[in-house]
Amino acid sequence: MSGFAWAAFAQGLLPCAGAALAVMLATFAVALRMGVHRVVDVAWGLGFTAVALVSYAASAGDGDGTRRLLVTVLTAVWGLRLAWHIARRGRGHGEDPRYAAMLARAPGDPRLYALRKVYLLQGALVWLISLPVQAAGYLTGPAGAWAWAGAGVWAVGLVFEAVGDRQLARFKTDPANRGKIMDRGLWSWTRHPNYFGDFCVWWGLFLIVCQAPGAAAATLVAPVLMSFLLIGGSGKALLERHMAERPGFAAYRDRTSGFFPRPPRRG
């Protein structure tokens, strides 16, 4: 069992919050210049990466070096891959319909409304959800079974997310698939392999902290909140409401798991 440098962790919370805020404010400036707010989705992964790097620097001398490096690399690999994927997917497209609809009914100046409701909110979420990443740097004992178990769950999540995104992108590039439901590869085992992958990534990062029970209890809110967002918030639930009327979706929903992977039902 590891000890935990509580005072140093508390001191590191502020610079990590500043990193998340800086990324979102810079992205807001870019969005105003480009005239589209969809770029904030790219900043989601970049924000977590920035927090991980700042936390790594802030925790120098306080926690185990192997664990500090491990959690920083895992977070950065996930965040940079996600940012690159979203940036490539959105290249050449206009505004995201979600943001267009939200800003169309915004009271007052839509730019300030977007700043409050999108950028500052996402910055706060990045800081809160990244609490296990921040805390992992302040565990004083050597990295043990919890750290490597967490890395294993993280790896499962990254595979599901990356492979699922790749399979969907290839499916969409084929004109013969226009209007069809993607139900192949990982998408035949779960309707949301990318969201399930995110779920595993963040529970895996949380497991790394479980070597110190007090730190795990203090940061449990992070994977729970991410799970809510993925399953019941802006992830699975919102996407399926938009897809409910698409031809073939009802049959796909009946035979395919809604989240956790399993073989598709027959018949």
Confidence of residue 1 (pLDDT cuts 50, 70, 90): low
Structure tokens at 90: 């959105």
Instruction: Output 142 or 235, whichever has higher pLDDT.
Output: 142
Q: Each residue of 201-236: pLDDT tens digit?
A: 999 999 999 999 999 999 999 999 999 999 988 788
| Global pTM value | 0.94
Among residues 80, 90, 95, 5, which one has the least CA distance to residue 44? 80
The alpha carbon of 248 is separated from its chain's Cα centroid by a whole number of angstroms, namely 28
| Gap between the Cα atoms of 15 and 11, Å rounded | 8
**Predicted pLDDT of residue 234:** 79
Output the average pLDDT for the chain.
94
Q: SS3 of 109, please?
A: coil
Q: Each residue of 42-56: pLDDT tens digit?
A: 999 999 999 999 999
**Predicted pLDDT of residue 150:** 98
| Gap between the Cα atoms of 77 and 62, Å rounded | 23
Among residues 191, 204, 210, which one has the least CA distance to residue 254? 191
| Gap between the Cα atoms of 91 and 256, Å rounded | 31
| Gap between the Cα atoms of 187 and 160, Å rounded | 10
Confidence of residue 90 (pLDDT cuts 50, 70, 90): confident
When pLDDT is averaged across residues 102-130 and rounded to a whole number, the result is 92
